[in-house]
Amino acid sequence: MKNTPLKSLIIKNLYFDKGLSCAELSELLDKSLPSISKAINELIEDGLVIEDGYARSSGGRRPLVYSIKADALYMLTVAMDQFSTRIQLIDLLNNPIGDMMIFELPLWDNPGALAELIIHLNEYIDNTGIQRDRFAGIGIGMPGFINVNEGINYTHLATDGQSLTQLLTIETGIPTYIDNDSSLIALAEQKFGIAKSRKDVMVINLGWGIGLGMILNDDIYRGNNGFAGEFSHIPISDSNNLCACGKRGCLEAEASLLVVVQKAIEGIKDGRISMLKYIEEDHPKLVGDAIMDAANNGDQFAIELLSDAGYKIGKALAILIHIMNPASIVLSGRGAIVGKILLAPIQQALTKYCIPRLSASTELLISELGFDAELVGAAILVMENLTT
């Protein structure tokens, strides 16, 4: 296959917008129809694009519509958090292929985490039976301070200054790309989720921490050195609760899912009546999932815990609204499953702490992608770096 920027742009537009005609591609890419037609024909010969019927008639001859050939290439999407990692093979239409691999992989104080990740990646790739030259790439979302351009995570998976993306590419034999988990979740919401076609959106990643991905003027905003969006570390309290960052009173130390888990365990020990009384204290992930499931099933203690966290998140969102004046705020990530429970206390806090003229114009939305958003964002990361 001959590498051309135009062919790559066509593939990316077909990925994001599904079926498009030559005329639509010509308008989107500001290229002549003959150039588009030539590139499309080459992509069909390469086995990457197929004819996908005719567009609906609006009078006159109906144009042919073209789509990506789903199984022409594959992508490996990886979603990491502080405790576990998910790996899923998908095709070019984001359809999952085969089973997802989920395994525990603590990131804090774990010098062997990178080696273990590489072992699991290669094991999963080998088990697919797909040749490595048929992978468009590996996209990985992970927590931490990440320099996307250099491919370095300054918080986890230490590489002694070497590019993590280069190292993983060498170890797997497949082009690999990394990004902050919250940025990828925002990217997923922007391209395929509830934030599609919205220009100024704050996407909250509700998980073990509380991340933020910012969509400003229809682009992901990363800040001066790529570290924008550290919403977790907004100081909202004078409490003595120590945050992982070393400071006290951070939002993460007051309202993250990990804090909710700790409060649930303490409450059960103190005799609170709840269906959570059988939770396994040494498995935070299982406890967190149990709390959200219990809350959605009406457990009053679980609802109380999440409502308290929601109110504190709302207090922090009031600060964010005063600074950014977003059109929308999306609750996404693992915690989106309890988004309806969180909405009321968040709104209560906004009413108390936010200037009405600002908060009234900001719409609160619950993600439909939810816990899958990071995996979707990882696929988008691969496609944005695709060259044909």
Q: Does residue 2 surpass a pLDDT of 70?
A: no
Segment 302-330 shows an average pLDDT of 95
Taking only the tens place, the pLDDT of each residue in 304-317 is 999 999 999 999 99
Give the domain 74-184+374-384 fold: Nucleotidyltransferase; domain 5 (3.30.420)
Q: Sign of the CA dihedral 120, 121, 125, 131?
A: negative
User: Do the two domains 74-184+374-384 and 197-368 of this chain adopt the same fold?
Assistant: yes
Of the ranges 147-151, 190-194, 246-250, 283-287, which is most confident?
Answer: 190-194
Q: What is the pLDDT of residues 216-262, one digit of tens each?
A: 988 888 887 777 878 888 888 877 777 777 778 889 899 999 999 99
Angle CA 164–112–209, to nearest 5: 75
Per residue in 35-84, pLDDT tens? Answer: 999 999 999 999 999 998 887 766 667 889 999 999 999 999 999 999 99
For residue 89, the model assigns a pLDDT of: 98
Superfamily of domain 197-368: ATPase, nucleotide binding domain (3.30.420.40)
- Express as a percent the part of the chain with pLDDT over 90: 73
pLDDT value of residue 22: 94
Confidence of residue 334 (pLDDT cuts 50, 70, 90): very high
Contact assessment for residue 94 and residue 76, using Cβ atoms and an 8 Å cutoff: no
Whole-number pLDDT of residue 62 = 80
pLDDT tens for each residue of 156-200? 998 988 899 999 999 999 999 999 999 999 999 999 999 998 889
CATH architecture of 5-68: Orthogonal Bundle (1.10)
What residue segments make up the domains of the chain, in order of their start? 5-68, 74-184+374-384, 197-368
pLDDT band at 1 (very low <50, low <70, confident <90, very high): very low
Residue-wise pLDDT for 80-125, tens only, equals 999 999 999 999 999 999 999 999 999 988 999 999 999 999 999 9
Cβ atoms of residues 370 and 25 within 8 Å: no
What is residue 388's predicted lDDT score, i.e. its pLDDT? 63
Distance CA 218, CA 196 (A): 9
The model's pLDDT over 271-280, given as tens digits with 9 standing for 90+, comes to 898 888 877 7
